[in-house]
Structure 1
Amino acid sequence: MKVRKLIDSFNDAIDGVIHVLKTQRNMRIHFALAVAVLFFSSFFDLTRLEMLMLLFAISLVIICEMINTAIESSIDIITKKYHPQARIAKNVAAGAVLIAAFNSIVVGYLIFFDRLSQFIPNTFFKIKQSPPYLTFITIIIVSLLIVIIKTLSLKGSHLKGGLISGHSALAFSLFIMISILTGDVLVITLSLLMAILVAHTRVESGIHTIWEVILGGILGVLVALLIFSI
């Protein structure tokens, strides 16, 4: 009986994780980023302590997001009406997620900064010698591809909506070009944050879905890398 209850407890816990993944967009984003970070970390020679710090930072974000969801659900059970105390409880829980996410960014940056400082200049050295007009060619090609895809998809207009996010495609193509032309880790990080902010505004404004933004970002990255590599 005790073994059965233990198994039931594990099943309930797993159901809780799956429920949050199914219902919370932010949790899906956290999971996707966690998988990406762990995948790329395998290419670097991280120490045991650095790996421990990385796993702790990732776990902290996911745990805070789950607690935030539990608090929101509990409040919604008690009342559906607006109440100042309910608003405070939800905002505090969301604030905990924000702090945990910011902490994970700082931890990741401190762990990978030195390694990227050595890796990026060597990787981009040959590409950096490319003629400067390739930057403008890349922007034109990305813009044309966006118009073509939106025209074929018959969804949205050329400047708003559509199968992919044109703003995200251009933002991430510019991020790649800035990375190649500068090779500076700090500048690359700041340009990446700006590209993410552009993509985020398209989702928050309801113009694009998260997947349309991701597709746009992938298009911009691939086109920029392909042109500069060739």
Structure 2
Amino acid sequence: MKRWLLSFKYAYEGLIYAFSTQKNMRFHFFAAIIVLFLSLFFELSQLEILLVWIVICLVIVMELINTAIEKTIDLTVKEMHPIAKIAKDVAAAAVLVSAVFAVIVGFVIFYNPILLWINGKLVKTHEINNETIIVVLSLVFLCTIVFQQTIFRKKNNTQINLISALNASILTMIMISDANVIHIILTCCISILLVSGLLGQKEVTVRSILNGTILGIFLTLFIYFCV
């Protein structure tokens, strides 16, 4: 279990490194946030949201691979070699192809909803279903990383706990959508147990958990009332 948690931690650190050092990765994150927000606004179907997530993950994965290849070449090659340049160019081309594919898929998916919205014929249900929960959690995940590495990083390296942000988001959505008191109480108990477990970790502080909880609640309410 500990080894699995460490592997998750290292993978998360790799994602944070790519976001904080690669301009293109930051662009992909902001683009993903906008696209996911539009997915909620236009209430896309389950299949459409799945396709949106596939292309988002594809672009981000390609950018991560590109970053890994670039850093490996920089480490092993002291002077620029033609083959090293080819390797970097091919890796960059992979990112470009995936980005173009994402744009095409986005155009196909959003064309009709945007057209209906412009003509005033878009019908919205404002229901919180499984697709909504997944998209909101995805937005909280991406926004937490963005806030952590941009706004809060400039304020004395203020930390935000990602797990507490997601936990608070789930709890907020359940309280908004579910009128069953028992479900709300059980969710609160699970959330408290999760936070208690986080406090047992050496690198987790009370302030980071509090920051994550506040951010998770704020983002969820903001997304819910804006969409």
What is the TM-score when the length of structure 1 is the normalising length? Answer: 0.51
- Higher RCO, Cα 8 Å, sep 6+: 2
Measured against aligned partners, the alpha-carbon deviations of 1:80-117 in whole angstroms (never above 9, x if no partner) come to: 31111101100000000000100110011000101111
Instruction: Return structure 1 stretches of 4+ with deviation > 3 angstroms.
Output: none
Q: Distance in 2 between matches of 1:120 and 1:81?
A: 55
Q: State the partner residue of 1:96.
A: 94
Separation in structure 1 between the aligned mates of residue 34 and residue 44 of structure 2, nearest angstrom: 16
Q: Deviations over 1:109-164 (max 9, x none)?
A: 000101111212449xxxxxxxxxxxxxxxxxxxxxxxxxxxxxxxxxxxxxxxxx
Choose which of 96, 99, 109 in structure 2 pairs with 1:111.
109
| 1:46 CA displacement | 1.2
Shift in Å at residue 45 of structure 1?
2.6
Give distance in 1, aligned partners of 2:21 and 2:92.
Answer: 16
Question: What is aligned with 1:56?
Answer: 54
1:1-230 pair list within 5 angstroms = 3-122=1-120
Alignment partners' CA distance in 2, 1:81 and 1:24: 22
What is the identity percentage for the equivalent residue pairs of Structure 1 and Structure 2?
45
CA distance in 2, matches of 1:6, 1:41: 32
- SS of 1:81's equivalent? coil
Q: Distance in 2 between matches of 1:24 and 1:50?
A: 29
Once residues 6 and 116 of structure 2 are traced to their aligned partners in structure 1, the CA distance between those partners, rounded to angstroms, is 49
Unaligned stretches of 5+ in structure 1? 124-230
Q: In 2, distance between residues paired with 1:40 and 1:50?
A: 12
Aligned-residue offset at 1:44: 1.1
Output the amino acid matched with 1:29. F
Kindly provide the CA deviation profile for residues 145-200 of structure 1, in whole angstroms up to 9, marking residues without a partner as x.
xxxxxxxxxxxxxxxxxxxxxxxxxxxxxxxxxxxxxxxxxxxxxxxxxxxxxxxx
CA distance in 1, matches of 2:43, 2:9: 36
Whole-Å separation in 2 of the counterparts to 1:121 and 1:30: 30
Distance 1:64 1:81 in 2: 25
The structure having more radius of gyration, on CA atoms, is 1
Superposition RMSD in Å? 1.2
CA distance in 1, matches of 2:87, 2:36: 32
CA shift for structure 1 position 33: 0.7
Q: 1 CA distance for matches of 2:65 and 2:76? A: 17
Taking the aligned partners of 1:76 and 1:66, their CA distance within structure 2 comes to: 15
Q: Unaligned 5+ residue runs, structure 2?
A: 122-227
TM-score (norm 2): 0.52
SS state at 1:80 partner: coil
